[in-house]
Chains A and B, each alone.
Chain A
Amino acid sequence: MAFRTEPITVNFGPQHPSTHGVFRMRVTFDGEVIVDMEPVFGYLHRGSEKLAEERTYTQVITLTDRLDYVASMSNNLAYVLAVEKLCGINPPERAQYIRVIMAELVRIASHLMGLGFLLNDLGAFATPLMYMFREREKIMDLFEMVCGARITFSYMRIGGVAEDLPPEFYPAMTRFLKEMPGYIDEYEALLRENEILLARTKNVGILQPDKAINGSVSGPNLRGSGVPWDLRRADPYEIYDRFEFDLPLGKVGDTYDRFLVRLEEMRQSVRILNQAMEQIPKGPVRASVPMLVRPPIGDAYAHVEAPKGELGFYVVSDNSIAPYRCKIRSPSFINLTVLRDMVLGWKLADMIVIFGSLDVNMGEVDR
């Protein structure tokens, strides 16, 4: 006997516990199998690019905080790099080290959150999330020492960073670097070999390398598919060429690989941080740049390897105090373009996990 069944359409989000903000997916199910999926963007659109045209160059830094709000330091960094390129400013060496330290710390923080929410989407009832927030909290403390804020840092300035590292930063940082590898081991012990996790993530949501490249995917998602592309290596901005670190690569490109790559990247970040804390020179942290910069007419594009992928700022100047145009290439948005391909044919539960494994941030997607 054959039943005639109808596909049902469900609106996932924008208010849904695992859409990582306000993402909406219009999904058509045949039973539990996804036959169609259409992402709907824009619930968090704040017009950052347009707002940037009405702020002075320094003021735009505060806007970049709100793109990927779990990794604001990287956003600050990408933006100030673009403006420095535009004006031809060279920040002092110490400032560059501080920037790298901040960027790597924020990478750990962002990966912690990404992994925590991925495991939460898998149904691990907040336990890994709680553990990871505990460590993220320590990173937030470090940021609070340095710049006084815990989420919206606004720490980098054109030509350097706002202020030098305070004295209490060094012992706290040393302690953090000593403890962190142990915690990462603990996360691994918690779930890495778990049979249920393996069954849920292995070979699920495979992103083939060619598809990833065609879709302009970047960051851990791309490396999870086995493509050795990292802007810290490929186009070493700042002083990344002075550090030794490995690029963790996935083999299959499934959810599990993306999980492992993020886990391993945290280890590598700790490694970079260790080297940076050793090498950091003394000196000024800020080139003498006025608060009101007036770059020459021209344009510049600068990109960094943000935790989520390649984050780029394209700034056009018309020699006024505000950018003529400020285009943001946000990795989360572009990574999302492959989502539909990845989830078709999988089940409802897989869709949530695949979406979680892409680790997008809606603040960045909608800008």
Chain B
Amino acid sequence: MDWVYDLFPKLHAAIEGWLRSILPPSIESAGVYIVMGVLSAFLLINVPLILVMVLIYMERRLLGRFQHRLGPNRVGWQGTLQVIADGIKLLTKEDIIPANVDRWVYNLAPVLFAIPVLLVFAVVPFGEEIYLTDLNIGILYIVALTATSTIFVFMAGWASNNKYSLIGAMRSVAQLISYEVPLVLSIVGVVLVVGSLSMREIVDKQSIPFILLQPLGFLVFIVAVSAELNRSPFDLLEAESELVTGYHIEYSGMKFGMFYLVEYIAGLAYSAVITTLFLGGWKGPILPQYVWFVAKVLLVFAVLIWIRATLPRVRIDQIMGFAWKFLFPLALINIFITALEVLLWPEGFPAWLVVVNLGVALGLLVVMQVLFRFPGATRHVVPQALVGRG
């Protein structure tokens, strides 16, 4: 059974060896490079897509159970083929382009939307030796890439020429950009401890998962991530009960399918990032590394589903206030504390620091209860000149 553990490196070596044996020496290195590159790219695009199908199925079933119902269980054994059935349905649906849309932008948005989230997987280490590349600025690369999705959301919202989608797009710009800040700042804590931006090294250095060492950073990060992913309670861009579905309201057929899919790919990507940064990545006993990695990713996503099943949505001014007045200071404090700890114990942290950090995190939540109030009642005085202009 040993082959299970290093399946992918062995496979890699085998294919490479086979290629070298059949290619003429003149084009050998170039040929191997190209073929292996294409193969890896193929894997990197398709493995996430397969995992996304698992995620969608999991989300629907789990949501069902959280809501005391069953969820899809008809197509295939226990509904496992439901996602495929949905995909076929979306593919065969009529593709409606509303009359007054900005055609180029409208058609481009769903396609472009998919690119950055797929690129994220290039630096995600699925195992000790299973990764496409080990960028030394890996985590920065991920943050920079995913930040671009704002543009595509806005493209979709603007081009649809629909008021709901426009409002949704406006919200997205405000929300996504605000949440970039705590997102990045909460990563800094991890980076300080590790001393590197490379995803691989972050995993390597995690003798204990950083969720224990950095509870505050984890909290800020997971909240910011659910905002970045437009997931409840921060799903203002789509806000089913307010904006119907927000920015992609005018999309139908597979274009809608793209948005839907990309949202889940992003969910997968961020779950992978959380796993890498805070949960020890592929580390774990007995089972092969990639199994551990996937299991942890699914666990993170299950938590996100659980949150979605419980919480109501926050309002746009509250969401902004939350980012700037709650998460931002917490993230700064986290950086400060971490920096102090790194200075004090450059050789590695004592174990009791885990308890201290947890205590600090909980204490800060209590403090924030006093310092930060959700802007609850903010009724605007309507300028008389505007009343009745509808």
Contacts and interface: CB of A to CB of B under 8 A. Distances in A.
A–B contact with Cβ pairs below 8 Å: the answer is: yes
Chain A contact residues: over half helix, strand or loop, or mixed?
Answer: mixed
A344 B390 CA distance: 13
A16 B166 CA distance: 16
A91 to B, nearest CB: 39
Nearest to A123: B313
B153 interface: no
Interface string A101-131: 0000000000000000001111111110011
Given A18-B241, A27-B390, A345-B380, A200 B314 contact: yes
Given A199-B374, A203-B376, A190 B241 contact: no
Given A17-B241, A18-B242, A36-B387, A122 B317 contact: no
Given A123-B241, A345-B381, A352-B242, A35 B315 contact: no
Contact of B314 (A18, A196, A202, A203): A196
Contact of A349 (B242, B310, B375, B383): B242
Contact of B389 (A28, A120, A195, A345): A28
B71 to A, nearest CB: 11
A7 B382 contact: no
Contact of A38 (B312, B314, B386, B390): B390
Interface string B226-259: 0000001101100111111000000000000000
Name which of B69, B315, B318 has the most chain A CB atoms within 10 A of its CB.
B315
Interface in B4-46: none
A349 B312 contact: no
A37 B387 CA distance: 9
A10 B376 contact: no
A199 B387 contact: no
A123 B235 contact: yes
B389 A127 contact: no
A119 B312 contact: yes
Contacts of B380: 33, 345-346
A319 interface: no
Nearest to B233: A196
A303 B330 CA distance: 57
A30 interface: yes
Interface residues of B, number: 44
A124 B312 contact: yes
A134 B67 CA distance: 10
Majority secondary structure, B binding face = loop
Contact of B390 (A9, A125, A345, A352): A9
B64 to A, nearest CB: 9
A85 interface: no
A191 B310 CA distance: 8
Contact of B382 (A16, A27, A345): A345
A358 interface: no
Interface in B294-331: 308-318
Interface centre among A9, A33, A203 (most CB of B within 10 A): A33
B316 A347 contact: yes
B385 to A, nearest CB: 9
B344 to A, nearest CB: 34
Contact of A120 (B163, B241, B390): B241
Contacts of B66: 127
B244 A16 contact: yes
Nearest to A190: B310
B164 A10 contact: yes
Contacts of A134: 68
A131 B309 CA distance: 12
Interface string A193-211: 0111111101110100000
A111 B307 CA distance: 26
A200 B315 contact: yes
Nearest to A29: B167
A196 B312 contact: yes
Given A196-B312, A349-B313, A130 B376 contact: no
B312 A191 contact: yes
A124 B382 contact: no
B96 interface: no
A32 B167 contact: yes
A159 B239 CA distance: 49
A124 B310 contact: yes
Contacts of B63: 125
Given A35-B382, A190-B310, A200-B312, A123 B389 contact: no
A348 B387 CA distance: 16
A299 to B, nearest CB: 40
Interface in A318-359: 344-350, 352
B311 A30 contact: no
B379 interface: yes
A280 to B, nearest CB: 32
B351 interface: no
A350 B310 contact: no
Interface of B: 63, 66-69, 163-164, 166-167, 232-233, 235-236, 239-244, 308-318, 374-377, 379-383, 386-390
19 contacts: A8-B163, A17-B240, A28-B386, A29-B167, A30-B382, A35-B382, A35-B383, A122-B241, A123-B241, A126-B67, A127-B66, A130-B67, A196-B374, A198-B374, A199-B315, A200-B312, A202-B376, A345-B381, A349-B242
- A-B CB proximity, top 9 nearest: A123-B313, A199-B374, A203-B377, A28-B390, A122-B312, A130-B67, A35-B386, A18-B241, A124-B312
